[in-house]
Amino acid sequence: MSTTALGRAAASGKLTAVVLFLPPALLLFTLFVILPVGEAAWYSGFNWNGFGRPTNWIGFTNYEYVFEARAFGLALRNNFLIIVISLGIQLPLALTLAILLAEKFRGAVALRMLFFLPYVLAEVATGLIFSFVYDGDYGLLAGVWRFFGAEPPHLLASTQTSMLAILIVVVWKYFGFHMMLFIAALQGQDQHLVEAARIDGASRWQVLRHITIPLLYPTIRLSVFFAVVGSLQLFDLVMPLTRGGPADSSQTMVSFLYSHGVTRMRIGYGSAIGVILFVICVTFAVTYKRWFMRDD
């Protein structure tokens, strides 16, 4: 920073704020982000089981093993599928419900809370609940199938349907969170614009298309960011439902890291997966922030 810039910053009080608040934040970021990621990157270069000091340096071999693994390809595909479903079904559903429930009518608050309740549940508890629901012998779904005289499916035990079962739970659990974001944004909009448009003869659809939705763009961009990052990190729902199976058909990158790295005591291999996941998340976050959230 030049002397002139320093002088202007000091004059405006910004330099004092930077000196006071930046070092603690930088220290915490270094301790809890930079150092763990650096340590994982270091361990990823070893063939190490987690006991003793890592000594068997193998360079980038763990990364080669990861990219050659069929299960990692399935995990990448599943994460991409979760992102597509989140953006294509979950967010439009949340936006539609938010527009309907942002209106003031009897029961609106109760319906908001009802739709938001799944998000309050812990992921592990949700997974356990749906493991009983999907149970092909004694579950709720099996009861419905038998009521219609059909043979109940075992959704979680089939490589064809296990991921579908997880996607249904993902949509059910998280759409309420995005709905509340949209409702908060809708309630913060300037209603004078809507009233002026209606006085000028705009229909409800025209108001929605040309005023309400454009004003929601910052919230939609934020919601997309949360949906993508959350999809990349999905783990807690997968473990109680399928543990990534059967035959790795429902693995996500994090569950793949846990089942193929941590539980098999392949710490170097698991660290390589963690580094790859970190690079994907950071690349997405930086790119998305620069391209889509520059002015937010």
Instruction: Give, for all 296 residues of the chain, the pLDDT tens digit.
Output: 555 555 565 556 677 888 888 888 899 999 998 999 999 999 999 999 888 888 999 999 999 999 999 999 999 999 999 999 999 999 999 999 999 999 888 899 999 999 999 999 999 999 999 999 999 888 999 999 999 988 889 999 999 999 999 999 999 999 999 999 999 999 998 888 888 988 888 888 999 999 999 999 999 999 999 999 999 999 999 999 999 989 999 999 999 999 999 999 999 999 999 999 999 999 999 999 888 887 76
Structure tokens at 161: 């349907």
Residue 242: CB atoms within 10 Å: 24
Alpha helices in the chain (DSSP H): 3-12, 14-29, 35-43, 61-68, 70-85, 91-101, 108-120, 123-133, 140-147, 162-187, 191-199, 204-207, 213-232, 238-241, 253-257, 267-291
The per-residue DSSP string of 208-245 comes to IIIIIHHHHHHHHHHHHHHHHHHHHT--TTHHHHTTT-
